[in-house]
């Protein structure tokens, strides 16, 4: 923990064992590190070696087959030095027990899932909430402007009333983009306030959320749209948030904690009250940094709880509460591994400690919110309590089995201790939010409504009001 031993970064790779396509991330060479080569080309190995002269401790590997995510694996390297694309593909095949024939096809190769026709996909409003991270915002926005979806808009919600950097970055990207980009400022602090404001500005019924510390895969929105089409009973779609880089001890430790996927990773599924326990989010139902929903589904459960989420005392839990309420109301969630994004984990130990403590506090704040906003579930929660306590605190519970054996015990202990403060944090934040709403309605009737400006223009489908 003190950093006595030198740290060697991990290489993040995305490899397709059928196409031979390898993308290296986290090489520290700039925006998105979108370095790739076709392993079937004559100079693939040479190029791969030239790009990877840095030493790496291990490889974090997403293995795909015809673009289909098959699984995530970690491989510690016994030798240091150049790593070729063929090296990465060999590791991927070995991890799956898959060989490749002379024609370059993988054994048991399934055909790729066909994306929906561009004429058939619903238009999507992308909500990107940001606060004081202009460089990360630019990186995320650029990935959004490169989406293959034919008809979408981007709504940037700036939750920092004291700076103008987000507006400048948004205007810069919008000026060079064909995509419709709207900038809005939500002066009331809190991620839930920002997301709720973004939903009000969204032109379309289907909304996708991403955070400013992420990058979207180029087909992210098309995969989201296709998932909605293939699962008409699902009003919510979630997907994995994989690491964009592992270049610091804190980033590696976060993955050892289970990352954002907490063991679900590439496991596709339909989540509902009939298939999972809606009040026990382990493995995670998804995460707010990669979720899509219909506006109707969000309105049915009362929007995002402004007493939860980043910027509040609980510092999280608003996404999990939404997923739970959606399932308790009879809704379903499609978890689709193809709808993936890449997340830049916190790079310092101080940030990681704060994040893990926030996770613990927000988990019990989430339960407190259910008790106060859905009192009809109290008998159900009482019956669930023994299982939840066993899974959270036992040495072989779901929560711990997704955590690496060498994860620091003190970080896990701090995470558990933080759970004790969750209920009080939610109650006090709820009181605070009521005061904010009362003061705002008396002094400034428009407080909380975002000031917005459209900065870029692009082809759009019919708006939400036109499709009702």
Which pLDDT tens digit goes with each residue over 380-418? Answer: 899 888 887 777 766 665 555 567 678 888 998 899 899
Give the strand pairing for 214-216 and 290-294: unpaired
Tell me if the bond preceding 283 is cis, omega within 30° of 0: yes
pLDDT at 98: 56
Is pLDDT at 41 greater than 50 in this prediction?
Answer: no
Q: Which of 149, 352, 169, 181 is nearest to 250 (CA)?
A: 352
Per-residue pLDDT at 212 exceeds 70: yes
- Indicate the average pLDDT of the chain: 85
pLDDT score at 6: 80
Query: In this structure, what token pair is assigned to residue 132?
Result: 């004081």
Reported pTM: 0.88
pLDDT at 129 over 80: yes
Query: Computed from CA positions of residues 308, 312, 315, 319, in that sequence, does the dihedral angle turn out positive or negative?
Result: positive
77-81, 259-263, 453-457: lowest mean pLDDT where? 453-457
Q: 116 falls in which pLDDT band (50, 70, 90)?
A: low
pLDDT band for position 162 (cuts 50, 70, 90): confident
Say what the pLDDT of residue 45 is.
37
pLDDT at 395: 62
Give residue 210's pLDDT.
Answer: 98
Q: Is the pLDDT of residue 13 over 50?
A: yes
**Residues of each domain in the chain carrying CATH 3.90.550.10:** 124-381
Q: What is the DSSP letter of 31?
A: G
Mean pLDDT, residues 210-222 = 96
**Block residue for tokens 């995670």:** 284
pLDDT for res 354:
95
- Nearest Cα residue to 27 out of 243, 176, 239, 181: 243
Q: How many CA atoms lie within 13 A of 306 on its CB side?
A: 16
Top-confidence residue, 327 or 32:
327
When pLDDT is cut at 50, 70 and 90, the band that residue 118 belongs to is: confident
Q: Smallest Cα–Cα separation from 183: which of 192, 170, 169, 165?
A: 170
Tokens 């009000």: give the residue.
200
Token pair listed for 205: 């019924």
The 10s digit of each residue's pLDDT in 334-383 is 999 999 999 999 999 999 999 999 999 999 999 999 999 999 999 989 98
Comparing CA positions, the residue from 289, 293, 318, 125 lying closest to residue 211 is 289
Q: Which residue has the higher pLDDT, 117 or 268?
A: 268
To the question of domain 124-381 being in CATH 3.40.50.300, the answer is no
pLDDT score at 97: 74
Classified as helix, coil or strand, 69 is strand
DSSP one-letter string for 19-44: T-EEEEE--SSSGGG-EEEETTSTTH
Per residue in 284-332, pLDDT (tens digit) is 899 999 999 999 999 999 999 999 999 999 999 999 999 999 999 999 9
∠398-12-363 over CA atoms, to 5°? 30
What pLDDT, on a 0 to 100 scale, did the predictor assign at position 5? 63
Q: Tokens 């510690």, residue? A: 76
Bridge partners of residue 68, in order along the sequence? 65
Contacts made by residues 42-50, CB under 8 angstroms, sequence distance 24+: 44/20, 44/84, 44/85, 44/86, 45/84, 45/85, 45/86, 47/85, 48/22, 48/24, 48/82, 48/83, 48/84, 48/85, 48/86, 48/87, 48/88, 49/82, 49/83, 49/84, 50/82
Mean per-residue pLDDT for 40-60?
Answer: 56
Residue 28: per-residue pLDDT: 59
| pLDDT for 7 | 86
Please give the structure tokens belonging to residue 406: 């060498």
Q: What six digits make up the tokens of 376? A: 């009809």
Q: What is the pLDDT of residue 81?
A: 77
pLDDT at 265 over 50: yes
| Statement: residue 447 has pLDDT above 90 | no
End-to-end CA distance of the chain: 56
The beta-strand segments (E) located in 140-223 are: 152-158, 180-185, 206-211, 214-216
What pLDDT is attached to residue 394? 65
Q: What is the mean pLDDT of residues 62-91?
A: 90
Tracing tokens 């507006």 back to the chain, one arrives at 167
Residue 103 pLDDT grade (very low, low, confident, very high; cuts 50, 70, 90): very low
Q: What is the arithmetic mean of pLDDT over 27-39?
A: 49
């Amino acid at each position: 923990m003190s950093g006595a031993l030198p740290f060697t970064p991990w290489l993040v790779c995305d490899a397709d064992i059928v196409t031979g396509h390898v993308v290296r991330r986290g090489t520290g060479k700039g925006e998105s590190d979108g370095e790739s080569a076709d392993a079937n080309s004559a100079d693939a190995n040479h190029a791969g070696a030239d790009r990877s002269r840095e030493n790496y401790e291990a490889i974090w590997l997403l293995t795909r087959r015809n673009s289909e995510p098959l699984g995530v694996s970690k491989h510690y390297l016994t030798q240091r030095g150049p790593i070729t694309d063929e090296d990465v593909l060999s590791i991927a095949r070995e991890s799956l027990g898959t060989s490749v024939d002379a024609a370059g096809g993988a054994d048991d190769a399934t055909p790729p899932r066909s994306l929906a026709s561009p004429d058939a996909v619903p238009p999507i409003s992308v909500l990107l909430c940001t606060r004081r991270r202009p460089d990360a915002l630019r990186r995320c926005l650029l990935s959004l402007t490169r989406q293959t979806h034919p008809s979408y808009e981007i709504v940037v919600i700036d939750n920092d009333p004291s700076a103008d950097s987000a507006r400048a970055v948004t205007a810069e990207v919008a000026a060079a983009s064909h995509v419709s980009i709207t900038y809005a400022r939500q002066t009331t602090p809190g991620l839930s306030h920002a997301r709720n404001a973004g939903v009000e500005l969204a032109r379309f019924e289907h909304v996708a959320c991403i955070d400013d510390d992420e990058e979207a895969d180029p087909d992210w929105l098309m995969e989201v749209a296709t998932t909605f089409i293939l699962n008409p009973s699902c009003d919510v779609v979630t997907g994995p948030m994989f690491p964009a880089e592992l270049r610091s001890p804190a980033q590696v430790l976060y993955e050892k904690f289970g990352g954002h996927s907490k063991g679900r990773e590439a496991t596709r599924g339909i989540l509902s009250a009939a298939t999972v326990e809606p009040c026990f989010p382990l493995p995670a139902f998804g995460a707010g940094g990669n979720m899509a929903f219909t506006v109707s589904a969000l309105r049915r459960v009362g929007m995002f709880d402004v007493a939860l989420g980043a910027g509040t005392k609980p510092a999280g839990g608003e996404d999990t509460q939404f997923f739970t309420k959606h399932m308790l109301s009879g809704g379903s969630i499609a978890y689709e591994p193809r709808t993936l994004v890449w997340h830049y984990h916190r790079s310092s130990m101080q940030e990681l400690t704060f994040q893990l403590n926030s996770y613990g506090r927000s988990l019990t704040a989430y339960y407190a919110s259910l008790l106060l906003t859905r009192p009809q579930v109290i008998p159900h929660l009482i019956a669930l309590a023994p299982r939840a306590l066993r899974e959270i605190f036992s040495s072989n519970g779901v929560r711990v089995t997704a955590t690496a054996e060498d994860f620091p015990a003190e970080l896990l202990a701090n995470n558990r201790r933080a759970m004790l403060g969750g209920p009080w944090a939610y109650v006090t934040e709820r009181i605070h939010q009521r005061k904010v709403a009362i003061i705002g309605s008396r002094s400034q009737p428009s407080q909380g409504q975002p000031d917005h400006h459209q900065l870029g223009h692009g082809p759009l489908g019919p708006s939400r009001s036109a499709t009702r």
